């Protein structure tokens, strides 16, 4: 592993051999419905508290991801996971049940790429052959902890975002041969394998190469504080950190934004996404280049008519979109290179009442889709 000031370049480029994404009821009614592996019909998920519901979502994502990757708990060296709750309640209870060595991660809503970064360090460095990573959030648990009880029925300003009820998990491995049982989400009906590539048959009988996803490098973000104090302006608070990390990544790798087919931030929502566009343009990135490759999970996960105001937020927002939409599009060769940038607002339940501003953080992971044989999707970068 080679390091620049903030960017880690992984020599062995660990594989993401499987992924699993769960969305809640509202998320399942949104535009990404088909990209979730599972959508809840009831956000209680059969549990008697919201916190138990979130922990069960995360546990399901982890166990299904392991099953899909052909691994048992005994073969996993560590699980890296986090959420928004005090003492990482959802992740800790999940880890208690799975009995896998556990590293609790907290980066607010940047937790997914923070976990990916450190999971890649463990696998790339040979410290563990297989590592599970994941993150979760739940609208009702976040409202209870950070805002007001649901029963209060308080009004939300237009700038407010909706915490996603969602979870995502990924299985990282040093190698791929013989690993994946089904990395496709069960959507295809046939498969043959060779080393490094799966041949898949879709519902229409088309045969194409199922590509493999590798972690190429990652950029550790710095805490950036834009002075925003309004907790209903999360996108505004996090956007400068996202831009700082993206520009640092491009500078340290010698790349331009269009090196990637997709640059996707975590949960800035509509307002934060607009700010990122403006700040990137101010930094000299062309408007067309930004429009061609940039998007945000918080702006993707809900439709405007769902009355979510400024978009989605929460650890589970980027975790589920990365483990669902991004991962599967890369497996199918529709996205060749992706820069995923989970974003976090590092406020606590106390800091706003003490008049503190909201520090932002963002970590970036560069993913590449590789294949040993010709891919059906034309124009995908090898």
pLDDT tens-digit map of 224-255? 999 999 888 899 999 999 999 999 999 999 99
Average pLDDT, the chain: 89
Q: Is 201 exposed, middle or buried (0-12, 13-18, 19+ CB in 10 A)?
A: middle
- When pLDDT is averaged across residues 302-308 and rounded to a whole number, the result is 90
Q: β-strand 294-296 against 312-313: which pairing, if any?
A: unpaired
Beta bridge partners of 366: 217, 339
Q: Within 13 Å of residue 265, how many CA atoms lie on the same side as its CB? A: 38
Residues near 203 by beta carbon (within 8 Å), at least 6 away in sequence:
187, 188, 189
Residues near 271 by beta carbon (within 8 Å), at least 6 away in sequence:
159, 233, 235, 236, 310, 311
Reported as a single tens digit per residue, the pLDDT across 104-161 is 999 999 999 999 999 999 999 999 999 999 999 998 998 877 766 666 566 777 778 8
| Domain hosting residue 287, numbered range | 215-370
- Would you say residue 103 lies in a domain? yes
Looking at the structure, do residues 43 and 134 belong to the same domain, yes or no?
yes
Looking at the structure, do residues 221 and 344 belong to the same domain, yes or no?
yes
Asked whether residue 381 carries a pLDDT value surpassing 90, the answer given is no
Contact assessment for residue 117 and residue 340, using Cβ atoms and an 8 Å cutoff: no
Looking at the structure, do residues 32 and 132 belong to the same domain, yes or no?
yes
Q: What is the CATH number of the domain that holds 64?
A: 3.40.47.40
Q: Is 291 exposed, middle or buried (0-12, 13-18, 19+ CB in 10 A)?
A: exposed
Reported as a single tens digit per residue, the pLDDT across 50-87 is 899 999 999 999 999 999 999 999 999 999 999 999 99
Tell me the CA end-to-end span of the chain in Å, nearest whole number.
Answer: 22
Looking at the structure, do residues 33 and 118 belong to the same domain, yes or no?
yes
Reported as a single tens digit per residue, the pLDDT across 146-187 is 766 666 566 777 778 889 999 999 999 997 654 444 444 433
- Would you say residue 220 lies in a domain? yes
Q: Which two tokens stand for residue 27?
A: 């998320």
Looking at the structure, do residues 287 and 144 belong to the same domain, yes or no?
no
- When pLDDT is averaged across residues 31-36 and rounded to a whole number, the result is 98
C-alpha R_g of the chain: 19
Contact assessment for residue 133 and residue 79, using Cβ atoms and an 8 Å cutoff: yes
Residues near 8 by beta carbon (within 8 Å), at least 6 away in sequence:
1, 2, 117, 120, 121, 217, 218, 219, 220
Nearest CA-CA partner of 346 in 190, 196, 223, 174: 223
- Would you say residue 206 lies in a domain? no
pLDDT given at position 362: 98
Asked whether residue 43 carries a pLDDT value surpassing 50, the answer given is yes
pLDDT given at position 352: 83
Higher pLDDT, 206 or 323: 323
Looking at the structure, do residues 231 and 144 belong to the same domain, yes or no?
no
pLDDT given at position 200: 65
- When pLDDT is averaged across residues 328-333 and rounded to a whole number, the result is 96
Q: Which pLDDT band, with edges at 50, 70 and 90, does 196 fall under?
A: very low
As a whole-number percent, the residues of the chain with pLDDT over 70 amount to 86
Looking at the structure, do residues 154 and 264 belong to the same domain, yes or no?
no
Nearest CA-CA partner of 20 in 74, 55, 66: 66
- Would you say residue 262 lies in a domain? yes
pLDDT given at position 178: 44
pLDDT given at position 152: 57
- Would you say residue 63 lies in a domain? yes
Asked whether residue 27 carries a pLDDT value surpassing 90, the answer given is yes
Looking at the structure, do residues 122 and 225 belong to the same domain, yes or no?
no
- Which of 113, 140, 173 is where one domain is finished? 173
Higher pLDDT, 180 or 265: 265
Reported as a single tens digit per residue, the pLDDT across 343-363 is 999 998 889 889 999 999 999
Which 3 state secondary structure label does DSSP give 321?
Answer: helix
Looking at the structure, do residues 251 and 363 belong to the same domain, yes or no?
yes
- Distance of CA 186 to CAs 18, 268, 308, Å? 12, 30, 30
Q: How many structural domains is the chain composed of?
A: 2
Looking at the structure, do residues 331 and 281 belong to the same domain, yes or no?
yes
- Would you say residue 191 lies in a domain? no
- Which of 173, 204, 224 is where one domain is finished? 173
Looking at the structure, do residues 237 and 89 belong to the same domain, yes or no?
no
Which phi-psi region, left, alpha or beta, contains residue 127 (left: φ > 0; alpha: ψ -120 to 50)?
alpha
Looking at the structure, do residues 168 and 225 belong to the same domain, yes or no?
no
Which 3 state secondary structure label does DSSP give 229?
Answer: coil
- Which of 140, 173, 206 is where one domain is finished? 173
CA distance linking residue 200 with residue 333, whole number of Å: 12
Residues near 124 by beta carbon (within 8 Å), at least 6 away in sequence:
1, 10, 11, 12, 13, 14, 174, 215
pLDDT given at position 188: 35
As a whole-number percent, the residues of the chain with pLDDT over 90 amount to 75
- Residues recorded for the chain: 382
Q: Which pLDDT band, with edges at 50, 70 and 90, does 373 fall under?
A: very low
CA distance linking residue 220 with residue 289, whole number of Å: 24
Estimate the crossing angle of helix 89-98 against helix 50-68, to 10 degrees.
Answer: 50
pTM comes to 0.88
- Would you say residue 193 lies in a domain? no
Residues near 90 by beta carbon (within 8 Å), at least 6 away in sequence:
51, 54, 55, 57, 58, 83, 136, 138, 141
- When pLDDT is averaged across residues 281-307 and rounded to a whole number, the result is 96
Nearest CA-CA partner of 183 in 14, 336, 64: 64
């Amino acid at each position: 592993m080679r390091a620049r000031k903030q960017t880690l370049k992984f020599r062995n480029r660990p594989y993401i051999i499987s992924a699993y994404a769960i969305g809640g009821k509202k998320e399942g009614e949104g535009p990404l419905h088909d990209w979730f592996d599972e959508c809840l019909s009831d956000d209680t998920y059969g549990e008697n508290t919201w916190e138990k519901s979130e922990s069960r979502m995360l546990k399901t994502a982890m166990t299904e991801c392991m099953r899909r990757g052909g691994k048992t708990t005994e073969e996993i060296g560590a699980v890296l996971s986090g959420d928004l709750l005090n003492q990482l309640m959802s992740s800790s209870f999940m880890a208690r049940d799975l009995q896998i060595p556990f590293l609790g991660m907290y980066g607010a809503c940047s937790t997914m790429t923070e976990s990916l970064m450190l999971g890649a360090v463990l696998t790339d460095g040979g410290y563990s052959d297989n590592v599970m990573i994941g993150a979760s959030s739940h609208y009702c648990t976040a409202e209870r902890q950070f805002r007001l009880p649901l029963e209060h029925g308080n009004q939300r300003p237009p700038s407010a975002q909706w915490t996603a009820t969602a979870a995502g998990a990924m299985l990282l491995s040093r190698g791929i041969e013989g690993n994946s049982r089904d990395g496709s989400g069960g959507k295809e009906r046939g498969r043959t394998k060779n080393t490094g590539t799966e041949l898949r048959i879709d519902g229409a009988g088309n045969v194409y190469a199922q590509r493999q996803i590798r972690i190429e490098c990652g950029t550790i973000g710095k805490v950036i504080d834009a002075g925003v104090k309004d907790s209903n302006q999360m996108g505004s608070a996090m956007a400068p950190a996202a831009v700082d990390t993206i520009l640092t990544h491009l500078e340290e790798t010698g790349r331009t934004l269009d090196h990637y087919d997709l640059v996707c931030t975590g949960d800035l929502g509509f307002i934060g996404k607009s700010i990122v566009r403006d700040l990137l343009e101010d930094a000299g990135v062309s408007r067309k280049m930004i429009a061609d490759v940039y998007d945000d999970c918080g702006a993707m996960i809900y439709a405007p008519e769902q009355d979510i105001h400024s978009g989605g937020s929460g650890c589970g927002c980027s975790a589920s979109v990365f483990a669902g939409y991004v991962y599967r599009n890369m497996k199918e060769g529709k996205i060749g290179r992706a820069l995923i940038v989970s974003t976090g607002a590092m406020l606590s339940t106390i800091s706003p009442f003490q008049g503190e501003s909201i520090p932002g953080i963002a970590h970036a992971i560069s993913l590449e889709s590789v294949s040993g044989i010709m891919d059906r999707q034309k124009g995908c970068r090898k």
